[in-house]
Amino acid sequence: MKHEDRITSEEIAALIERTETRALEEGDAQIITAIIKKMVEIEELYNERKITSARKLRRLIPIPRPKPSEENKPDE
Amino acid sequence: MSKNKPGRIEITAQEVNHLIERGEKRSFTDQDYVIVLAVIRNYFALHDAYQEKSRTILRFLSWIFGHRTEKAKDVLKEAFGPNDTPFHRAGKEKAQRAWPKWRLLLPGCSESDGASLRLQSGGSMPPLSQRKALPLL
């Protein structure tokens, strides 16, 4: 996954603010579901003691930025 | 149980799946938002440690999912101080006012379908040995 394709800390911080104010935007639901799935995945691996190094964990953490769905793509 | 112990949100496989379904349909309930915020905040903390290349990232993982969360919290106090992250700078105070004592639990998701969600707070919690906690930051 390319670095620029990953969700950044700033984007997550902004997402937290929007979630707090219940003002989610287009695409936020995709990121939220990706984060939930990612945390479940990490927790499963942690419980199975499969995260044996910080390096392994670092590989797991990034989430790709969701691509806009067909219906939400801007007209060309 | 100590009065100061934080409340917890326990999440099991089936309800995680329902939460994801509601997320995909953009139909979160008020209760969902509390859980979603807890998950995002904990992910944010991990992500921040990842970005900062923090050496404490593994200990932080144990803090989130391990049993001895209170002890780890003391250990990590300095590494994740209140002014260390954009999130803390942006909204920690506000977040604490809204949900001062919640914790999110993701119990072992070994079932094939994931887990289920059980919201809990205060005195009805099972013993710590049976729980894994995602502390709210």
Q: Is B40 on the interface with A (CB under 8 A)?
A: yes
Percentage of chain A exceeding pLDDT 90: 39
- Tell me what the pLDDT averaged over chain A comes to: 85
A18, A24 Cβ separation under 8 angstroms: yes
Task: Give SS3 for B134.
Answer: strand
Asked whether residue A8 is assigned to any structural domain, the reply reads yes
Asked whether residue A68 is assigned to any structural domain, the reply reads no
Asked whether residue A23 is assigned to any structural domain, the reply reads yes
pLDDT above 80: residue A41:
yes
What is the rounded CA–CA span in Å between residue B10 and residue B109? 12
Cβ-defined contact of A51 to B44 (cutoff 8 Å): no
pLDDT above 90: residue A14:
yes
Residue of A20, A30, A43 with shortest CB distance to B65: A43
Mean pLDDT of A57-64: 90
Q: Is B137 on the interface with A (CB under 8 A)?
A: no
Asked whether residue A38 is assigned to any structural domain, the reply reads yes
Asked whether residue A24 is assigned to any structural domain, the reply reads yes
Q: How far is CA B58 from the centre of its chain?
A: 16
Asked whether residue A71 is assigned to any structural domain, the reply reads no
What is the rounded CA–CA span in Å between residue A64 and residue A44? 20
Q: How far is CA B5 from the centre of its chain?
A: 14
CB pairs under 8 A between A and B: 110
Can you give the pLDDT at residue B50?
Answer: 84
Residue of A15, A29, A61 with shortest CB distance to B23: A29
Quick one: angle between helices B57-65 and B30-51, nearest 10? 160
What is the rounded CA–CA span in Å between residue A59 and residue B47? 11
Q: Which domain holds residue A7?
A: 3-63
Can you give the pLDDT at residue B31?
Answer: 86
What is the rounded CA–CA span in Å between residue A42 and residue A62? 11
Can you give the pLDDT at residue A17?
Answer: 94
Quote the number of domains for chain A.
Answer: 1
Q: Can you point out the beta strands (E) in chain B?
A: 9-11, 103-105, 117-119, 133-135
- Domain boundaries defined on chain B: 9-135
Each residue's pLDDT tens digit in chain B (137 positions)?
444 554 566 677 888 888 889 988 888 998 899 889 989 998 998 888 888 777 788 887 887 777 654 554 554 444 444 445 555 555 455 444 433 333 454 443 333 333 333 333 333 333 334 444 444 54
Containing B62, the helix (H) or strand (E) segment is helix B57-65
Mean pLDDT of A47-65: 89
Report the candidate in B103, B137, B127, B129 with the shortest Cα–Cα distance to residue B11: B103
* ipTM of this predicted structure: 0.87
Can you give the pLDDT at residue B104?
Answer: 53
Asked whether residue A75 is assigned to any structural domain, the reply reads no
Residue of A17, A19, A58 with shortest CB distance to B50: A58
